Amino acid sequence: MSVSTISPSNIGSINKAHAWRAPGVPPPLSLYVHFPWCARKCPYCDFNSHAQSESAADAAQLRLRYLQALRADLESALPLVWGRTVQSVFIGGGTPSLMTGEEVDRLLCDIRTLLPLRPGCEITLEANPGTMEAERFAAFRQAGVNRLSLGIQSFDDEMLARLGRIHDASQARRAAERAKEQFDNFNLDLMWALPGQSLVQAQEDLRVALEIAPPHLSLYQLTVEPNTVFAKFPPQLPDEDTAFLIQEALQRRAGNCGYRHYEVSAYARSGRECVHNMNYWTFGDYLGIGAGAHTKLTLAEGITRQERYSKPESYLGNAAEGRFVSRQYIVSVFDLPFEFMLNALRLSDGVPASLFVERTGLPPDAVSRARDLAERRGLLEADPTRICATSRGLRFLNDLQAMFLPEHAGEQRPAKIEPVAG
């Protein structure tokens, strides 16, 4: 997606009159739990993930220490969320399915002991299609996980090899079928515009996924991120024209098969949208625990963000001393409009205009200038009751989001949009 240069004269205007006001009712609250280890780091991955110990005994001992630290982390955060009900839990990574069923059960028991979960709370666990992990799906279900997100990426052996994945196509199919047997609600992650991938190959990946009929699909375009192996040794990716043709074809095929394209990279059957990710995109609150986890909470003094210590050894070392948060700050009222739009504009149907006021504590006119300009450029729907990107706005999403950058940012480029796991 292209990024335009934004000057201070053409973006939203925040002044001293736009003081932050705490909402009468706090936003919905979600819990994110980060598991930082993988069997092997993928060359395209820029998430906080690290190869686990080759020794099974050492890995098990490390996971035990980590589970103890997670409980202590959650206990330390309780005063910030006291009395609030958790709408969803997402256990991401890394590869959380490297945990045993007993370990996941212990984690969820600790969470239930310390936090009130709403009835029917969506509890998602990310998993890889390796044989060992697939054998644990039933145990994960018994532990209380009710939604599995499976990182397939491709059903093509050649594509999987180019991505550095450790599973093959047959394992991917078997794992997806096993997920379908064990879970009423599950997601399949696929990537497109892979190294050397043709339109036909991308369509075949989707055909196999649709045959399995998951309630939810995540279709991500592969992008080369800084500080990855692919950044150091760039693969030959499809050109922009081919990537656009692939995107259009996949969107059309998924739509024809009953999947609503409700977010930039997310497709779902009716009623199967990811509750956890919808809370992110509608600027809800979330508590993040574990190495490198991020938190966003609406507190009396303002919308507060936290970051946990990132590297597993640093996180565990600080946890032993009762320290978990490496950085904490209150989001400036100047930055709130951009942070809100960075999320909400990803949704195909947008959000009610009133949600901006409810979730940011700012008045509507804080973004009126930017909204007017975006509407004139055909990037935003001319609907005073909703904030919703047009089809053109979704295509040039970075340009649209950048229009809500604070005036003091000058020619600052918009922050990178992190893909959210399905």
How does pLDDT run across 279-304, given as a tens digit for each residue? 999 999 999 999 999 999 999 999 99
Neighbours of 313 (CB within 10 A): 12
pLDDT given for residue 24 in this prediction: 80
- Pick the closest to residue 42 from 189, 257, 175, 181 (CA basis): 189
- Pick the closest to residue 88 from 126, 108, 118 (CA basis): 118
Q: Provide mean pLDDT across the span 81-98.
A: 96
CB 359 within 8 A of CB 278: no
pLDDT given for residue 83 in this prediction: 92
**CA 171 distance to own-chain centroid:** 25
* Angle 406-412-418 from CA coordinates, rounded to 5°: 90
pLDDT given for residue 422 in this prediction: 65
pLDDT at 2 over 60: no
Please compute Rg for the chain using Cα positions: 21
pLDDT at 1 over 50: no
Q: Provide mean pLDDT across the span 265-288.
A: 98
- Pick the closest to residue 221 from 200, 234, 202, 207 (CA basis): 202
pTM of the predicted model as reported, rounded to 2 decimal places:
0.91
Query: How far is CA 42 from each of CA 94, 138, 178, 302, 377, rounded to the nearest angstrom?
Result: 10, 26, 24, 38, 39
* Angle 43-46-48 from CA coordinates, rounded to 5°: 115
CA–CA separation, 407 and 334 (whole Å): 8
pLDDT given for residue 18 in this prediction: 60
- Pick the closest to residue 161 from 149, 150, 171 (CA basis): 171
pLDDT at 44 over 60: yes
pLDDT given for residue 13 in this prediction: 54
First to last CA, the chain: 21
Stretch among 15-29, 138-152, 173-187, 359-373 having the lowest mean pLDDT: 15-29
What percentage of the chain carries pLDDT values higher than 90?
86
pLDDT at 278 over 50: yes
Tokens of 29: 């609250």
Q: Provide mean pLDDT across the span 78-103.
A: 96
Residue in this structure with the two tokens 């998430």, named with its chain if needed: 47
Largest CA distance in the chain: 62
Neighbours of 95 (CB within 10 A): 21
How does pLDDT run across 226-259, given as a tens digit for each residue? 999 999 999 999 999 999 999 999 999 999 999 9
pLDDT given for residue 150 in this prediction: 97
Give the bridge partners for 186, in sequence order.
Answer: 148
CB 104 within 8 A of CB 125: yes
- Pick the closest to residue 250 from 241, 263, 259 (CA basis): 259
- Pick the closest to residue 371 from 350, 358, 85, 359 (CA basis): 350
CB 232 within 8 A of CB 179: no
pLDDT at 418 over 50: no
How does pLDDT run across 57-87, given as a tens digit for each residue? 899 999 999 999 999 999 999 999 999 999 9
Tokens of 376: 């004139």
Residue in this structure with the two tokens 């330390």, named with its chain if needed: 76
pLDDT at 124 over 50: yes
pLDDT tier for residue 134 given thresholds of 50, 70 and 90: confident
CB 32 within 8 A of CB 92: yes
CB 52 within 8 A of CB 130: no
pLDDT at 408 over 50: no
pLDDT given for residue 15 in this prediction: 53
Amino acid residing at 394? L
Amino acid residing at 213? A
How does pLDDT run across 159-209, given as a tens digit for each residue? 999 999 999 999 999 999 999 999 999 999 999 999 999 999 999 999 999
pLDDT at 409 over 70: no
CB 347 within 8 A of CB 399: no
Average predicted confidence (pLDDT) for the chain: 91
Amino acid residing at 187? N
In 235-352, which residue ranges form alpha helices assigned H by DSSP?
Answer: 240-256, 275-281, 312-319, 336-344
CA–CA separation, 88 and 91 (whole Å): 10
What structural domains does the chain harbor?
A: 1-20+333-422 (1.10.10), 29-280 (3.20.20.70)
pLDDT at 6 over 90: no
3-class SS at 221? strand
Tokens of 86: 């958790």
- Pick the closest to residue 279 from 31, 48, 80, 84 (CA basis): 31
Q: Provide mean pLDDT across the span 51-58.
A: 85
How does pLDDT run across 334-367, given as a tens digit for each residue? 999 999 999 999 999 999 999 999 999 999 999 9
3-class SS at 19? coil
